[in-house]
Amino acid sequence: MGSMQLLPPTASAHAADMDWLFAALVGTSAFILLLVFGLMILFCVRYRKSSKVERGDRLGRTWRVETAWTVATFVAFLGLYFWGADLYVGIHSPPKDATDIYVVGKQWMWKIEHPGGQREIDTLHVPVGKPVRLVLTSQDVIHDFAIPAFRVRQDALPGRYETLWFTPTKVGEYRLFCAELCGTWHARMGGSVVVMEPSDFQRWLDSQDPGPSLAQEGEALFRSYGCSGCHGTASTVHAPKLEGLFSRPVPLQDGRTVVADDRYIRDSILKPKSEIAAGYPPVMPSFAGQIGEDDLLKLVAYIKSLADRTAENSQTGRKAGSAERPTQ
């Protein structure tokens, strides 16, 4: 409590890399600072008004000096830029085998759903050594999921999905904050991230009310919202089939191609007219305002779970999302 902490805990692979970057930034700054302060103090003492020191032969040709320090500064800055950019690209490239955990922010709590259907609030349990990808959204205002021990944070925006990934490297309990002003209890919107040994984590998962998995719940919703009427395997309606769709490229009517990720699925449910799959009539109604964030996440999880299935039962005999043939 009374301790003078200088550095936060370092509990992820990225956090260790970040501390090196921090050291480099501090080193560069210290060098420039010492140079500027050193010269200022030196000049102030040496050339104070009362000093009789020789002052002839001043620096002429200022543009040479100017060019020299401009170039030197710029080159040093560029090095730091590339280092930071490289790490930034890294934290935006989650590995393929990352476990997806869904997070919904709302005034003033974090609702977390594991793929197995386990739910928690304001606490996130994760196994050590395994990459985890969080899919974040918000039900009201902008929040921000911040874990200083992992040196990562990401805004959770209403109306879209943002992702954040990390590989915890140290077992322990770390602080979780909301970092974007979200109203009265902003300062209390947080909790902890608990990093556990994989076996302990498994035990923790099992100890939670197992319930149906996210995907299973999504499957039920898929029927209750009527999605299966057109997109189901038995349907005869000419609608894109969802088996094998997730994370594959989808050619659109307007000629573009997009990857069928969380965002695409979500937008296709809420704004079906915005990105129409090539070869399909734009007949799907919008579900905006009818499906809450929780249910959307479950539907996305369900569609994601179909990624490895092929559409063998499908009457169109087509692999969803690729090689579509407009045959109307």
Partner 1 sequence: MTTATVTGKSDEPVVATKNYLTEEGVTLRSWLLTKDHKRIAILYTLSITFFFFVGGLAATLIRLNLVTPAGIFTPDIYNRLFTLHGIVMVWFFLIPSIPNTMGNFLIPLMIGAKDLAFPRLNLLSWYLYVGAGFLALFAILIGGVDTGWTFYTPFSSLYSNGYVVLALAAVFAVGFSSILTGLNFIVTTHRMRAPGMTWYRLPVFVWSNYATSVIMVLATPVLAITLMLVAVERLLRVGIFDPALGGDPLLFQHLFWFYSHPAVYIMILPGFGVISEIVPCFARKPLFGYKFVVWSSITIAIVGFFVWAHHMFVAGISLYAGLVFSLLSYVIAVPSAIKVFNWTATLHKGWISFDAPMLYALGFIGLFTIGGLTGLFVANLAFDVHVTDTYFVVAHFHYIMVGGMVSAYFGGLHYWWPKVTGRLYPEWWARIAALLIFFGFNLTFFPQFILGYLGMERRYYSYPPEFQVWNIFSSAGASVLAIGYALPFFYLGWSLFRGKRAGSNPWAATGLEWQTSSPPPAHNFDKTPTVTRPPYQYRPEPEPQDV
Nearer to partner 1, 8 or 116 (CB): 8
Q: What angle do CA 265, 153, 247 make, to 5 degrees?
A: 25
Pairing mode of beta strands 143-147, 152-156: antiparallel
Name every residue whose Cβ is closer than 8 Å to that of residue 44 and which is 6 or more positions away in sequence.
none
Pairing mode of beta strands 143-147, 119-121: unpaired
Q: Which stretch binds partner 1 (CB under 8 A): 23-31, 96-104, 219-227, 252-260?
A: 23-31
SS3 298: helix
Window 86 to 125, contacts with partner 1 (CB under 8 A)? 86-92, 107
Give me the least distance between CB of 123 and partner 1, in Å please.
15
The interface mask with partner 1, positions 232-271, x = CB under 8 A, is ----------------------------------------
Distance CA 260, CA 319 (A): 14
Window 152 to 171, contacts with partner 1 (CB under 8 A)? 152-155, 157-160, 162
Window 275 to 314, contacts with partner 1 (CB under 8 A)? 289
Amino acid found at 123 = T
Q: Nearest to residue 301, comparing CAs of 225, 222, 241?
A: 222
Nearer to partner 1, 159 or 282 (CB): 159
Q: Is 20 in the site for partner 1 (CB under 8 A)?
A: no
Q: Which residue has the tokens 């040479």?
A: 64
Q: Is 83 in the site for partner 1 (CB under 8 A)?
A: yes
Q: Is 61 in the site for partner 1 (CB under 8 A)?
A: no
Distance CA 301, CA 293 (A): 12
Q: Which stretch binds partner 1 (CB under 8 A): 78-86, 126-134, 252-260, 306-314?
A: 78-86
